[in-house]
Amino acid sequence: MQLLHLNISSQFAKLGIHSQRPGLEIKQPPADLQLRQPQPDLTMTKTKGKLEIDQSEAFADANLKPPLRRTKEAAEQSKEKLLQDLAQKANEGRRLMKIETKNKNTIAQIAREHSEPKQKQFNIGFVPESATKVKFHYTPSEIDINVNLDKAIVKAKPNKPIIKYHKGDIQIYLRQKPSIEFNVTASKYDLNI
């Protein structure tokens, strides 16, 4: 007797997947920036310095005096000389009153005092006698500075970002087709017993 065998072999389908990842690129261009700084307004005012030199005492030492001062000094010297002469004459009068009692040569002494010249004294002198007789007074100059600052002018224009997007892709394909195979084989058996 003949037996039939049925052999079935199958192969499953296989899918293939090919994928490409999505991509995102972002670039941010810098902003357009304009800066302008106006010059500050600067004003300066300055007064002149003033130097005053008073040499009147130094000129007075050199006998260079203004007329009013010379007149005033002459009046004071005349008054002083008058008082000295009055005192001298009063002294001589007292000496002459006592001529009988004390000194008999009083008239000769008075005549000798008037006839002999007085000794002149001299020495080296400097004109002016000292440096402190020239007086200095200095008024310094004054500086006034005014600064008016203007604010900086800023103009900024932001730029939009540049965005590039690459889509992802998925491709699904059939890598292996499904199949079924049938095979029939015969085998013989001896059924005689």
Task: Say if strands 179-188 and 2-11 run parallel, antiparallel, or are unpaired.
Answer: antiparallel
- Domain parsing of the chain, residue ranges: 1-37+152-193
- The pTM score is 0.38
Can you tell me whether residue 152 is helix, strand or coil? Answer: coil
pLDDT along the chain (193 residues), means of 10: 80 90 91 90 92 88 86 94 93 83 79 82 74 88 91 91 90 90 78 65
pLDDT score for 184: 83
Report the distance separating Cα 14 and Cα 188, nearest Å.
39
pLDDT score for 1: 61
Closest of 186, 182, 168, 153 to residue 38, by C-alpha:
153
Residues 144 and 44: beta-carbon distance below 8 Å = yes
Cβ-based burial of 10 (10 A; exposed 0-12, middle 13-18, buried ≥19):
exposed
Closest of 79, 58, 55, 56 to residue 69, by C-alpha:
56
Strand partners, 126: none
∠ CA 56-61-63, nearest 5°, is 90
pLDDT score for 132: 80
pLDDT score for 94: 86
